[in-house]
Amino acid sequence: MDATSTAVIITEELTRSFGAHIAVNNLTLRIEAGEVFGFLGHNGAGKTTTVRLLNGVLAPTSGSVRVFGLDPTTAGHRIRARTGVLTETPALDSRLTARATLLHFAEVYGVPARDRRRRVDELLATFELQKRADSKVGGFSKGMRQRLALARTLIHDPDIIFLDEPTSGLDPVAIRDVHQMIEWLTHRGRTVFLCTHNLAEAERLCDRVAVLAQGRVLAIGTTRELGSRLNRGHRISVEVDASDIARAVKLFAATPPVSLAEAVTDRAAVRNGSASIVLHGVSRPDIPQIIQTATEQGIKLYRVQPEEPSLEDVYFALQEL
């Protein structure tokens, strides 16, 4: 890593095989300090193996990797001193209290003895666990256990935090709490490497994403960048008089280059006498034609609005390539 670089993770054609199975295939990444980077893919796509490679838990079969400018194969202990990893199913000792759990890991990660209690108290407060600090973990809800696991991950104040499916199986309130914690980390300048198959979560939280399939990265960028490169997933939202909805859907579906016209249930709009239709396969330059078609057929338009492709649109378009 050169002196002016702000990248904290750089890989070049990183590959890891297990026998004949290639778990990570020619992975090339550059992740900047302070970035929330989404690593998207279904279970078995290679996300967890990549995290292990970046932390020096596994050695690559070929290719190169640098984290903080260091090679994880030879300097894994130095890298792990500056990273925190939250696994999908974090193991917590149900016999220990929340406070004892954090004090134990503060010692494991080398937090100076004089600072441990202060650091533990800070994290208990940050993750709203003060009232249960001296309760045994075995009596915690799944959301509380996840908050404690996140606190444990941050006990040594790491610069990079790897989160592997951090909201899997959580209820909506617990999911909201995890999202707020990720946003809190970014405000403190930390780098977050988020492994997930939750597309809405990634779209909300991530600066950039990499879409992974069978160990290979299909594309990297922002949602907008990926949508533009693919030229797919473009849509226009059209609002018409509710009495015209059936006729309008049929008309637009037969209007090139519309690939699909679907009515959207919006109770508030219906109460106001209007209804929405989403037109797929069209974008901003097609708006004049849409307006002309509706006008010629006597369909009143209240609104015509282009929509950016969602991460879900991009993800499934990439899977089809």
pLDDT in tens, 56-72: 999 999 999 999 999 99
- Cα–Cα distance, 209 to 288 (Å, whole number): 33
Q: Residue 271: its pLDDT value, please?
A: 54
E strands, the chain, are 7-18, 21-32, 36-40, 62-67, 83-86, 160-164, 191-196, 208-213, 216-221, 235-241, 260-264, 274-280, 301-307
* Bridge partner residues of 262 (DSSP): 278
Which residue range is the domain that position 48 belongs to? 7-228
Each residue of 199-221: pLDDT tens digit?
A: 889 989 999 999 998 899 999 99
Question: CA torsion, points 45, 42, 204, 85, in degrees to nearest 10?
Answer: -50
Same domain, yes or no: 168 and 57: yes
**Rounded Cα gap, residues 211 and 202, in angstroms:** 11
For residue 3, the model assigns a pLDDT of: 47
Looking at the structure, tell me whether residues 193 and 69 fall in a common domain.
yes
Calculate mean pLDDT across residues 41-57.
Answer: 92
Lowest mean pLDDT among 42-56, 74-88, 223-237, 303-317: 223-237
Are 164 and 86 in contact by the 8 Å Cβ rule? The answer is yes
Average pLDDT over every residue of 10-24: 97
In this structure, are 183 and 236 located in the same domain? no
Over residues 122-164, the pLDDT tens digits come to 999 999 999 999 999 999 998 899 999 999 999 999 999 999 9
- The answer on 190 and 289 residing in a single domain is no
**Domain assignment present for 273:** yes
Residues 188 and 236 reside in one and the same domain? no
Residue 109 within any structural domain of the chain: yes
Residue 204 CA to residue 39 CA, distance in Å, equals 14
User: What was the pLDDT predicted at 316?
Assistant: 78
The answer to whether 321 and 209 are in contact (CB under 8 A) is no
Question: How much is the pLDDT for 173?
Answer: 86
Give domain status of residue 321, yes or no: no
Question: If you average pLDDT over residues 11-23, what whole number do you get?
Answer: 97
Q: Are residues 107 and 155 in the same domain?
A: yes
CA-derived radius of gyration, the chain: 24
- Is residue 283 situated within a structural domain? yes
Task: For residue 177, give the 3-state DSSP assignment.
Answer: helix
Q: How many domains does the chain divide into? A: 2
Q: What is the mean pLDDT of residues 283-304?
A: 92
**More confident site: 231 or 23:** 23
Task: Give the per-residue pLDDT at 290.
Answer: 93
94 belongs to a structural domain: yes
Q: What is the pLDDT of residues 167-178, one digit of tens each?
A: 888 888 888 988
Three-class SS state of 93: coil
CB of 249 within 8 A of CB of 261? yes
Q: Which residue has the higher pLDDT, 271 or 165?
A: 165
Q: Are 140 and 101 in contact (CB under 8 A)?
A: no
Average pLDDT value for residue range 223-251: 82
